[in-house]
Amino acid sequence: MEDVSSLAFIKSCQQNRFPLLFVDRIVECEPGKRVKATKNFTYNEWYFPAHFEDDPNVPGFVQVECLTQVFIMTFLTLEKYRGEKTSFVSIENVRFQRKLIPGDVLEIEAHLEKFRFGVASGSVQSWVNGEPAAQAQLTVAVPSVIEKLSPPKKQS
């Protein structure tokens, strides 16, 4: 059986790579249902010097990307979809509940609520030391699945 906690497994499931891979470890995985993962924020992250020099903290877009990368693992861990490209459809009800700083370990839990015709929707929450950090409702598409289900394009 594969070690789902490993970086190699994470990279076999999704196409994000350094410096934009924001999942360090899978803690729990129920493919097609839910995933728990972590992201360790170290001071040498590429965005800290610019955001901000006197008060380094994780930018909101990085937090949203962390949440999304864990969410897509809920269905990319299924053999049928492993390694597929994904694209955003919608990001709703995003809430940032605390500032993330160097040294924080973000714990993230994502739930797949619906996955039909190549479109996945669900919720994701995160915490640092049990304190809520961020949450969102996400809808993400798997373009290759949608292409297969779409009618053929007419020739001009």
CATH number of the structural domain spanning residue 127: 3.10.129.10
Percent of the chain with pLDDT over 90: 88
Question: Does residue 133 lie within any of the structural domains?
Answer: yes
Domain that holds residue 11: 7-149
Examine residue 88 and state whether it is found in any structural domain, yes or no: yes
Average pLDDT over all residues of the chain: 94
Q: Which residues pair with 96 in a beta bridge?
A: 134
Burial pattern 23-43, b for ≥16 Cβ within 10 A else e, equals bbbbeebebeebbbbbbebee
In a domain, 15, yes or no: yes
Q: Note whether residue 154 is domain-resident.
A: no
Q: How far apart are the first and last CA of the chain?
A: 50
Q: Tens digits of per-residue pLDDT, 100-117?
A: 999 999 999 999 999 999
| 67 pLDDT higher than 90 | yes
Quote the pLDDT of residue 136.
98
Decide if 155 is inside a domain.
no
pTM for the full predicted model: 0.93
Determine the Cα–Cα distance for residues 119 and 111; give it in Å rounded to an integer: 14
Rounded to an integer, the average pLDDT of 19-31 is: 95
Counting the structural domains of the chain, the total is: 1
pLDDT of residue 5: 82
Residue 103 lies in a domain: yes
Burial bucket for residue 86 (CB in 10 Å: 0-12, 13-18, 19+): buried
Q: Is residue 2 part of a domain?
A: no
Which band of pLDDT confidence, cut at 50, 70 and 90, is reported for residue 1?
A: low
Exposure string of 133-149, with b = 16+ CB inside 10 Å and e = fewer, is bbbbebbbbbeebeeee
51 is catalytic: yes
CA–CA separation, 58 and 63 (whole Å): 7
| Of 51, 82, 98, 111, catalytic | 51
Q: Is residue 1 part of a domain?
A: no
